[in-house]
Amino acid sequence: MTDLHDSDCLHRFDFEHLPIRGLLIHMDASWMALLEHREYPQAVRTILGEAVVASVMLAASVKFDGQLTLQLKGEGPMHLLLAQCTSGLGVRGLARYRSDELPVGEASVQELAGEGNLTVTLESEDLQQRYQGVVPMSGARLATCLEAYFEQSEQLPTRLWLHADEQGVSGMLLQRLPTPKRSEEPDTDVGLEQKVEQQLEDDWQRVQLIADTLKSDELKGLADREILRRLFSEDDLRLFDSVPVYFKCRCSRERVSSMLQALGSEEVQGILAEQGQVEVNCDFCNRAYVFDAVDVAQLFVAATSGLGNQSLH
């Protein structure tokens, strides 16, 4: 095997003669880093991995500067799943679940998350701009739920193929772009336009059917160039340079301090008295932030003197 598969990167590709674009992504070391401090049961780990690669592909398919959050929230045993990706493709994720209620082995989205919603939120870096799309969770796989999201919120026909296991996560996305308007002239041949539109729709169907033949282990194991060569040798494709994807947690001592200040002096002093120190673990990366008596006193001195909240971000 000379053709090693791509690692921790995202590739964009375009169909030269069709209004279709695509993405291919693989995360290996970055996925291991994301999992490093957390033990997830297999079914939860699989859907978390699918959500993580999907969040990167979503972030890469929209023009924005900030953070994209993909959230699943439901009544099921896995009641919350979050995957967050920045426009620079730094990603983190977590899942919360009641382990005694989880199904054994692999499970569908319904079995894990139950009735609930899939929400995609885009926030600009300065938090001044926010866009949110919500769809009910439908379909057994996350890819199907996301396709419904694209259909309703973005109105761009989009298909996703996702693979996740303990060693790595991979994904492919294909998106049909709006047909370029040919002419606004009144004597435009309507019949010809319809023919062209029908041909493009047939091409989109053909491309999806071919993509459906990609096996999960091929998506996982083959180099991107090889995947595209095997699937779309009949079409002219342009493969762009790869972009690195990495695990990145946004937690910081400043953010934890601000959270403790919001909790209030009385509550935090109570924890301090009981445990001798206040330890907060980041939900995403499990990093521990420890505050001793001196740190806690400082938190609230700063807050009451009015310096605390403004100077944090």
Minimum CB–partner distance for residue 284 and Zn ion (Å):
4
Determine if 278 is a binding residue for Zn ion (CB under 5 A).
no
Query: 133 with 152: CB under 8 angstroms?
Result: yes
Closer to Zn ion by CB, 130 or 250: give it.
250
Closer to Zn ion by CB, 18 or 34: give it.
34
One of 24, 25, 219, 282 touching Zn ion (CB under 5 A):
282
Closer to Zn ion by CB, 11 or 92: give it.
92
Residue type at position 50: E
Determine if 285 is a binding residue for Zn ion (CB under 5 A).
yes
- Residue 174 contacts by C-beta under 8 Å, 6 or more apart in sequence? 20, 21, 22, 158, 159, 207, 208, 211
Minimum CB–partner distance for residue 27 and Zn ion (Å):
18
Total residues binding Zn ion (CB under 5 A): 6
Binding mask 219-258 for Zn ion (x = CB under 5 A): ------------------------------x-x-------
SS3 80: strand
Q: Cα Rg for the chain, rounded, in angstroms?
A: 23
One of 150, 284, 289, 291 touching Zn ion (CB under 5 A):
284
Minimum CB–partner distance for residue 287 and Zn ion (Å):
5
Determine if 9 is a binding residue for Zn ion (CB under 5 A).
no
Query: 27 with 245: CB under 8 angstroms?
Result: yes
* Angstrom distance (rounded) from CA 272 to CA 278: 6
Placement of tokens 């991107």 in the chain: 224
**What is the full DSSP assignment across 139-202?**
SSSHHHHHHHHIIIII---EEEEEEE-SS-EEEEEEEEPPPPP----TT--HHHHHHHHHHHHH
Contact range with Zn ion by CB under 5 A, out of 50-58, 144-152, 233-241, 277-285: 277-285
- Site residues (vs Zn ion, CB under 5 A): 249, 251, 282, 284-285, 287
